[in-house]
Amino acid sequence: MEFRHFGKCSMLSPVPVAMVTSVDSAGKPNIFTAAWCGTVCTKPPMITLGIKPERYSHGLIKQSGECVLNMTSASLVRAADYCGVKSGRDTDKFADMRLTPIKTCVSAPAIAESPLNIPCRVKEIIPLGSHDMFILEVMDVALSESLFSGEAPDLGKANLVSFAHGEYYLTGEKLGFFGFSVASKEVLRRRMPKRGGGK
Ligand SMILES: Cc1cc2nc3c(=O)[nH]c(=O)nc-3n(C[C@H](O)[C@H](O)[C@H](O)COP(=O)(O)O)c2cc1C
């Protein structure tokens, strides 16, 4: 494979697209879109968000100490883009995009139209340069009932969107599962019927 070097830039790809909700001191909700986010700890469950200090949401999340990550499904991608180019200082993004706020265990509402929402509390804010790193502790995880057929959720049904170098993509076909490279034929047959147990 031949390579072309792009130099020093943040091109880790793909990354998730989170619609992050928070409230002002009067309880009015806002949404901003964040792609600089990732899981950093399992116990306790923690996520980081990179937020520019000039974002309206930066002040809201810092002051309230809470926010909700609402993951973007294909049907929400236009709203996610809008919430990533308009500021809550100037407009009501819930109203503009006809989104429905619903109560969570933190002060910020979730977006009812998102299949996966994650209410969080701010643990720490670390200035890094252009962005501040918000370390968030996960307080709950709510998944749409439509993702369940048994006990475990099937996130493949959620049509989640990812982001790579400025473009939105739909998460694609299931290719495997954690540990499938060393799984028995029986497990592969059960969990990957087409690939593992194919003709
Ligand atoms: C796909 C996408 C991803 C973005 N990711 C981030 C991010 O991770 N951190 C950030 O500070 N801004 C990010 N932005 C920009 C903010 O969402 C944007 O400036 C937004 O208007 C801020 O809204 P607010 O002023 O209501 O907080 C992103 C925008 C888009 C479209």
Q: Establish if 189 belongs to a structural domain.
A: no
The average pLDDT across 112-136 equals: 98
Flag whether 77 is in a domain. yes
> pTM here?
0.96
Split into its structural domains, the chain has a count of 1
CA of 34 to the centre of ligand 1 (A): 5
Q: Is 105 helix (H, G, I), strand (E, B) or coil?
A: coil
C-alpha distances in Å from residue 60, one per residue of 46, 66, 112:
20, 8, 21
Tell me whether residue 121 is in a domain.
Answer: yes
Which parts of the chain fold into alpha helices (H)?
56-64, 77-83, 93-96, 185-191, 193-196
**Domain of residue 85, CATH code:** 2.30.110.10
Q: Which atom of ligand 1 is nearest to the CA of 49?
A: 8
Q: How confident is the model at residue 55 (pLDDT cuts 50, 70, 90)?
A: very high
Q: Which domain holds residue 42?
A: 15-165
Q: What is the pLDDT of residue 197?
A: 43
pLDDT single digits (tens) 163-189: 999 999 999 789 999 999 999 999 999
Determine the residue of 12, 17, 32 to mutate for testing ligand 1's pocket, defined as the one with the most ligand atoms within 8 A of the Cβ atom: 32
Q: Quote the ligand 1 centre to 39 CA distance (angstroms).
A: 18
Question: Does residue 57 fall inside a structural domain?
Answer: yes
Per the domain annotation, does 190 fall within a domain?
Answer: no
Ligand 1, residue 81: give the atom nearest the CA: 31
